[in-house]
Structure 1
Amino acid sequence: MAARRTHERDPIYKIKGLAKDMLDGVFDDLVEKNVLNGDELLKIGESASFILNKAENLVENFLEKTDMAGKIFAGHIANSQEQLSLQFSNDEDDGPQKICTPSSPSESKRKVEDDEMEVNAGLAHESHLMLTAPHGIQSSEVQDTLKLCPRDQFCKIKTERAKEIYPVMEKEGRTRLALIICNKKFDYLFDRDNADTDILNMQELLENLGYSVVLKENLTAQEMETELMQFAGRPEHQSSDSTFLVFMSHGILEGICGVKHRNKKPDVLHDDTIFKIFNNSNCRSLRNKPKILIMQACRGRYNGTIWVSTSKGIATADTDEERVLSCKWNNSITKAHVETDFIAFKSSTPHNISWKVGKTGSLFISKLIDCFKKYCWCYHLEEIFRKVQHSFEVPGELTQMPTIERVSMTRYFYLFPGN
């Protein structure tokens, strides 16, 4: 029977002691300089206790595994000092510094050359931590295959609800297109490891729904805009009934980050740019046809949860009154809305983070695909989106709430898989 470890020889005890001594000094200084107050310190203490308890279990598990696992784990701990020095090396910078563990010496040199390496407002929070997902996701069974819509049901809905739904073209002669843009490698931000899982799963889903998928990876904001314009001009849209635009990247409140994004020199594709490229004026081939935007990206640094809230938000909107009044009637043309038939489904609410869990991919994309496979044979698109939202309704440690935005769809959109 193995002897019980004493505190003096227990590596976990030593690590906890060192961490406690270091953090005590840090928090004393933060309180002394009025950076943190008592309530904030209490919240941090509760979070630190949770992490420490979980870390102890993790260390003990690794000690029982192979030497290689121990080396990998020890290597990440050894890099913590370097990461902290990177984060706090420049107090005058305009945003949080990038904390990274380079995969090679050459990569380390390239990524440390610029003292502005950073993550803007929560970009680092697209986490790989194996924490608890929302209860709706934990409890539901994953749908392995896409459930097809019976032909008789397709014909019935298409006939009886013809005035309420978007027209669906017959499979023969239909040329549906979908675009996936996924940024995985970044110059200044964390690389989005394991994003290939989301790509493969989303590509498979769209192809099973009858879309030919165009995949583009690792683009700047300008390159993304160029690809969108080229995609909008594809002749296949004339004989298509809809399109999907899928974006997977880091993000901020203002939009999707390109691969060169940093605080002092933003590289961001704004939502307005996307909608403008595909509006009724610039993309006539998709006029009166559903245009579905799926966006997997953080939108800020917060986790989207509260304990108590009594305040109410105030929203305002500005109108270009002069421009509105300058519009004149012209009997030779037909008036049309500039922007219709759009819907955007984003992985989180504004200002908040979006989670990615290890090799299984992002929570949002995983649940979205699962709901499509289960329900798109009988439900319209917006109802499917609501089912995705419902699965996130009860928060776990990993908390986010997917959000339906900028909806200008005038009818219901059914995908009718198999038809």
Structure 2
Amino acid sequence: MAEKELFNVRRKFVEEATEALIKQLLDDLFGDGVLNKGQRNCVLEENSTTEDKARSLIDMVMSKGDAASRKMIAHLQSRDPSLYSNLGLSSGQPAQPGPTTLTSHDIRRKKQNDRDIYPVSKDSMSSRVSLLITNIKFTDETSNRNGAEKDEANMEKQLKALGYEVVKHTNLTGKAIDDALNEFSKHPKLKETDSVLVVIMSHGKRDTVLGVDCKKKISDNERPDEFPIDNIYKHLNAANCPALLNKPKIIIIQACRGEGEGSALVRDGANAAVVSDDADEGNIEDDAIVNKEKDFISLLACTPDTVAYRHHVEGSYLIRFVGEVFTAYAQKDDIEELFRKVMQRFEDFPSRFKRQMPTKDRCTLTKRFYFFQPSEAGFTSV
């Protein structure tokens, strides 16, 4: 698909596209009706560098789907054959549809009626709510997270684009983070929403997020300023937050999980076999019993005991890649596929000598969840 082709060459296009080429492509796509005047001006006027203009253009086109992506590829072939060839793109011409090809409307309707997909309605979408917690400034100023201001702004923008009201907190202690989760679990919109998103960004350890009063060294009688990640699941599980029963709870955590590097020199080796035993619980029959923890999915910035990286100006790589993938694919892919695409972005990590790999954790989704938008799901806007 053309959209996937653009996504695969996105980084190289951003690095190599010239200002003149970007303006030509904008004019071509404006003439095709792919972009309107406001969108064309947005790319040129709201981005200061050529790379930012290229990034904005390709993300905007990908968000409009396969047909728009095909047109951009075709114009790129005409305007800059050398770059087109270097990117390894194909002609951009649509394949001839077979007799059983479904239209995009058919696919959306099929998703809406699929029992393997979490239900979404116009009313539930209007009640969406999210929690965004970002620690930027710390009591120990040497721990300040430079660039996290951009993470906060980008994540808030992304959440709103997905239709979520944003409950935002900045610079909290570990206890204050816990209090914010507890308060959020009682939010009046949770009863009507179809899902929630919780995003926490700070320093961290393997199983905790650090509060703003954290210290690099503490005495034996001091308690560390930490928030246990496990408390997220406790506050939002069926026992403590029945309003979210059977609704997806999506967690994104940008924080280190240790001090180790995420890279290693690979050598040949063999792994021992792993054996697991099955336990027979017999026949269980209970009334009014629900799974205490269900319908969660989490994306953590890195694997256990390793660090997560953040650019001191542009912000963390996880949040940047989440924004890029969600902008391009949130209209068509379910949350697990979106997370997989984010993880895939890290295979092309900017540094030759560093590595980072996000981790999907505690996934108890029993269905697929899509961020349906009103125009996608067949709903009328209000």
One of 119, 138, 145 as aligned partner of 1:167: 119
Matched to 2:143, the amino acid is: F
Separation (CA, whole Å) in 2 of partners of 1:137 and 1:399:
20
**2:257 maps to 1:292:** no
What are the within-5 Å matches in structure 2 for residues 215-230 of structure 1? 215-230=168-183
Report the TM-score, using the length of structure 1 for normalisation: 0.60
One of 391, 395, 410 as aligned partner of 2:366: 410
Separation (CA, whole Å) in 1 of partners of 2:195 and 2:263:
35
Separation (CA, whole Å) in 2 of partners of 1:403 and 1:173:
27
One of 135, 157, 173 as aligned partner of 1:183: 135
Report the TM-score, using the length of structure 2 for normalisation: 0.66
What are the within-5 Å matches in structure 2 for residues 373-384 of structure 1? 373-384=327-338
* Equivalent position of 2:76 in the other structure: none
Please provide the CA RMSD for this pair.
Answer: 3.2
Contact 2:125 2:194 in 1 (8 A): no
Q: What's the offset of the Cα at 1:267? A: 1.6
SS at match of 1:214: strand
Deviation per CA, 1:87-136, whole angstroms, max 9, x where unpaired? xxxxxxxxxxxxxxxxxxxxxxxxxxxxxxxxxxxxxxxxxxxxxxxx98
Matched to 1:169, the amino acid is: S
Matched to 1:375, the amino acid is: Y
* Equivalent position of 1:282 in the other structure: 240
Unpaired segments ≥5 residues, structure 2 = 1-7, 15-54, 66-102, 376-382
Separation (CA, whole Å) in 2 of partners of 1:147 and 1:165:
22
* Equivalent position of 2:40 in the other structure: none
Separation (CA, whole Å) in 1 of partners of 2:146 and 2:171:
13
**2:274 maps to 1:358:** no
Q: What's the offset of the Cα at 1:235? A: 1.2
* Equivalent position of 2:33 in the other structure: none
Matched to 1:337, the amino acid is: N
Decide whether aligned partners of structure 1 residues 306 and 414 sit closer, same or farther in structure 2, where only a CA change above 3 A counts.
same
Q: What's the offset of the Cα at 1:358? A: 2.6
* Equivalent position of 1:248 in the other structure: 201
Separation (CA, whole Å) in 2 of partners of 1:295 and 1:169:
28
Matched residues, number = 279
Q: What's the offset of the Cα at 1:172? A: 7.5
Contact 1:136 1:392 in 2 (8 A): no
* Equivalent position of 2:12 in the other structure: 139
**2:357 maps to 1:401:** yes
Aligned residues with identical type, % of pairs: 32
Decide whether aligned partners of structure 1 residues 313 and 376 sit closer, same or farther in structure 2, where only a CA change above 3 A counts.
farther
Unpaired segments ≥5 residues, structure 1 = 1-134
Separation (CA, whole Å) in 1 of partners of 2:121 and 2:343:
29
* Equivalent position of 1:192 in the other structure: 145
Q: What's the offset of the Cα at 1:259? A: 1.0
Matched to 1:399, the amino acid is: R
Separation (CA, whole Å) in 2 of partners of 1:181 and 1:346:
15
Decide whether aligned partners of structure 1 residues 198 and 313 sit closer, same or farther in structure 2, where only a CA change above 3 A counts.
farther
- Which structure has the larger Rg? 1
